Structure 1
């Protein structure tokens, strides 16, 4: 087995993860000519897709499909999501990072052969802004999109936004054919009704077009004959099948019924024999502990000394044993590979943990550790992880009672800020470190931990400085300072960055994990 290790540090956002749901799926597809260029490619994955309308999609499978059907102004190359590159357009920005000018590449066309113009870009983005209930809508909050001429578009921000290019690489912001979509119910004033049309036909410029969509079983794509980009697809037909059980995906891969299995866990990929390739990398999702700082929730134990006791009591190597291939220890709230991420994580220090526990005022109380018990993240099951945490904290005299609950139930407690002691996870919504600033006091995740801005004004200021930075080097320093301060004093204990394992038959190559869209289907080709 070949197992190349690549760091692909960013994953889809927590909002997307919340939408994952198990579906039954079929396993039939024509694979007779699968190994030949021009034939069929078959991919097995557990579906997380609600639509093929890019303006409404915000799920992992949905993003992978949208990447194949639609192109964005900005792109990433391969698994590298640290450096945005031109997609449909190149761009310039002002010194304050509030004004961005995008110039479309000449000769780019939609699948009906019509030219892509600035009108299509403006319509596509304003359509999403007008659909306030659309999941990607928040990506464009505070932005003004305007046409300058037929090939140039201006996007301005109310505040400095160095991460805008990374945001625009999200497949949910794919550019649609304005004329076609408007003819089929598309609008920018909030009255849009084009989703039903876009669930049956594609109106983009990507390397593939939509053939059929069945949200419970499979999505079939065919090669776009009018494609003018630089990712010429090797296959005429792609079948993406909903196979919810990783064990079934493994059987299909080993039996030659599929060429790409998207959801194998660490043990499964480590057990593969020769004849298969595995792209096994950290996913960018972070599993962490939360200790609530609100006296109304945590009582007299609402203090960061207790968090410090937990942080230094844990044996992170032993926790990582439960995560499998591709996983790494979380070095802080910003995962490794992101701007400002710390090089090393916390090392167990029982003396420091014991001293912090004494300072916290702990007097034998039992802490209830709440967590979802039916929702593994990156192959990591929360119940055995919680059991190991419970045993390790007992070594410093901290009594922990496990309180598992179904995902939907536990989600309400987590979002509502009523968890006193919780085990949860987080992933970014786009490829930039700004996604981790919500852990700061007074911001979204910080408030879920009962941690308002007045609890630590210094960290709140560090987060604000990183958010408003306009110089790239200074921005990196700001994010690093934020990550260091969060690791030193805060209610969060980052534990594990789970791995993501994509296994393929050796007959194909190019199925490389990208945390924004899982894999770029057009890059998958017959080996050799």
Structure 2
């Protein structure tokens, strides 16, 4: 994917009330989603990036708050005039948390591992254009592409491109080792994960936190109780917009509302009858009332979308009117397709936005003559059965990675079950177009293409609601990617 799966999602946990208050250098962060692995190069769960990327693991480049690309493990780079050759200069004196030296061989190992035939990297496609990667010396890496790639430097800043060491890569799922400003300390499954400051990091002098503890609290009532008791200092992606007012009224807290890159979709298994029939998919889109879904699931605090692109993006096209909510028309279309009165399953992960949206979608489809059976499933089950095995009719999920329209060009093996050579060709033009204006025009064409195909039911852009104690500073109110570098965060 990368699937969002949002750093913002999670599993329920037992909350310990009355914990000792942390010092000013110890930060406690509430998260909605606990991952099943701590290796961002092996699974798409966004909370892996949310906790560990640019904190424990690092990449050649870093995606900054405004979405621009900056230096990281690579202090700089040169690009050939034809856009095919990238020469990266690596930072000197960098070590992994186990004391081993970082150099060009680690970059080559990480990329070859991601590109390998048996690679489990969820974004293996971002490495597909590499034809060679060499090291003229220990602090220089040369990458050659088979064709120009508009998003290459951006992609090198994503969690899928984390630089890992051959000595420790096999154990990163449970004991992650990187080069970042924080080291992994412990993981108490179902409860919390703790990082500690890395005093040997090249930017250790700007890191003010001694430790960060992520507490997995998906239940909104439990999260609220923990925040009010000041056991949690920050909940950067609070899952219950209906509870924000009490924090806004409390002088101890500040509440932020920003944007994510997360498109919330009613994902449809296009490879499975009757969803391989475009008229059935279009009927589903007509049955959906986005305003009702946003009001009921997000308490009005979300922006509707009509395709797979964020409303804050430069190339955004408002296509929300393409399939006007029309229950009678949806009913007629279902009847014409021979599916009226049929049963469809709607399997959703344990995230409040997904479960609440599913209940409303279920009612809307029922009005149009479809019996949608909602099944709430655990996150591990969702990853295995829906994402990997495509064992589903419909699901609701947020994809939070930027520039991920290319998911629709991944073919029938991807969990969408969607394959269209015309769109694949269009995405290749988008992916290789160097001129931003031309690329934006192509992105607009891509949005219209996906909407016309009614590949999914496009619902709303996932907002980012953050709650912080007043002492906490440095969190990004909006996130261009799934991570938040904690080296910028302080707790006064």
Question: If the length of structure 1 is used for normalisation, what is the TM-score?
Answer: 0.76
Task: Please say if residues 63 and 481 of structure 2, whose CA atoms lie closer than 8 Å, have aligned partners that are also in contact.
Answer: no
Change (3 A) 1:113 1:401: closer
Q: 1:68 to 1:507 in 2, by over 3 A?
A: same
1:101 maps to 2:101: no
Shift of 1:163: 1.8
What's the TM-score once normalised by structure 2's chain length?
A: 0.81
Partners of 2:415 and 2:195 lie apart in 1 by 42
Is 1:165 equivalent to 2:153 in the alignment? yes
Give 1:471 deviation, angstroms.
3.6
Q: Does 1:86 align with 2:71?
A: yes
SS in 2 for 1:277: strand
- Offset of residue 222 of structure 1: 2.1
Structure 1 residues 326-475: aligned runs within 5 Å: 326-338=301-313, 340-343=315-318, 345-346=320-321, 349=324, 354=329, 357=332, 361-362=336-337, 365-373=340-348, 375-376=350-351, 378=353, 381-390=356-365, 394=367, 398-407=368-377, 408=381, 412=385, 422-427=394-399, 430-432=401-403, 435-439=404-408, 442=411, 444=413, 448=417, 452-453=419-420, 458-475=422-439
Distance in 2 (CA, whole Å) between partners of 1:49 and 1:290 is 21
Contact 1:111 1:227 in 2 (8 A): no
Could you tell me how far apart the structure 2 residues matched to 1:216 and 1:410 are? 17
**Structure 1 residues 440 and 18: CA distance shift in structure 2, 3 A:** farther
Picking from 254, 262, 277, the partner of 2:254 is 277
Higher Rg of the two aligned structures: 1
Residue in 1 aligned with 2:194? 220
Residues in 2 aligned to 1:204 and 1:115: alpha-carbon distance in whole angstroms = 11
Kept after mapping to 1: 8 A contact 2:30/2:215 = yes
1:42 matched to 2:28? The reply is yes
Question: 1:254 and 1:29 mapped to 2: Cα distance?
Answer: 13
What residue in structure 2 maps to residue 5 of structure 1? none
Deviation at 1:267, TM superposition (A): 1.0
Asked whether 1:249 is paired with 2:223, we answer: yes
Q: In the TM superposition, what is the alpha-carbon distance from 1:72 to its structure 2 partner?
A: 1.5
2:438 is paired with a residue of what secondary structure?
Answer: helix
Deviations 1:116-141 (A, max 9, x none): 43233333433444593544572534
Contact 1:24–1:217, Cα closer than 8 Å, also in 2 = yes
Deviation at 1:452, TM superposition (A): 4.3
Aligned pair 1:132/2:118, yes or no?
Answer: yes
Mapped contact 1:446–1:452 kept (Cα < 8 A):
no
**1:31 matched residue in structure 2:** 21
Give the direction of change, closer, same or farther, for the CA distance of 1:61–1:352 in structure 2 (3 Å limit): closer
Q: Distance in 1 between matches of 2:243 and 2:99?
A: 44
Residues in 1 aligned to 2:387 and 2:57: alpha-carbon distance in whole angstroms: 35
Write out aligned runs for 1:295-306 (5 A). Answer: 297-298=273-274, 303-306=277-280
2:482 counterpart of 1:505: no
| CA 1:229–1:344: 2 relative to 1, 3 Å | farther
Decide whether the 8 Å contact of 2:9 with 2:218 is kept in 1: no
Offset, 1:32: 4.6
Runs (5+) with no aligned partner, structure 1: 1-10, 187-191
Q: 1:60 to 1:288 in 2, by over 3 A?
A: closer
Measure, in 2, the Cα distance between the counterparts of 1:214 and 1:364.
47
1:253: Cα distance to partner?
Answer: 0.9
How big is the shift at 1:332? Answer: 0.8
Distance (Å, rounded) in 1 between the aligned partners of 2:371 and 2:122: 38
Tell me how far apart the structure 1 counterparts of residues 9 and 291 of structure 2 sit (CA, whole Å): 31
Matched, 1:258 2:232: yes
1:254, distance to aligned residue in structure 2 (A): 0.9
Query: In the superposition, relative to structure 1, how do residues 215 and 170 fare at CA in structure 2: closer, same or farther (>3 Å)?
Result: farther
Residues 290-322 of structure 1: CA distance to partner in whole angstroms, max 9, x if unpaired? 56667x722xx9643444444345432222102
Which whole-Å CA distance do the structure 2 matches of 1:461 and 1:133 have between them? 25
Distance 2:30 2:42 in 1: 23
Task: Name stretches of at least 5 consecutive residues in structure 2 with no aligned partner.
Answer: none
Hey, what does 1:189 align to over in structure 2? none
2:59 to 55, 63, 72: 72
Distance 2:262 2:466 in 1: 16
Distance in 2 (CA, whole Å) between partners of 1:415 and 1:115 is 36
Q: Does 1:320 align with 2:294?
A: yes
8 Å CA contact 2:54, 2:485 repeated in 1 = yes
- Counterpart for residue 133 of structure 2: 145
Residues in 1 aligned to 2:323 and 2:313: alpha-carbon distance in whole angstroms:
24
Contact 1:508 1:526 in 2 (8 A): yes
Structure 1 residues 19, 256: CA separation in 2 closer, same or farther (over 3 Å shift)? closer
> CA contact under 8 A between 2:96 and 2:177: conserved in structure 1?
yes
Equivalence for 1:3: none
Deviations 1:86-124 (A, max 9, x none): 222222333554432211245655557876432333334
**Which range moved further: 483-492 or 45-54?**
45-54
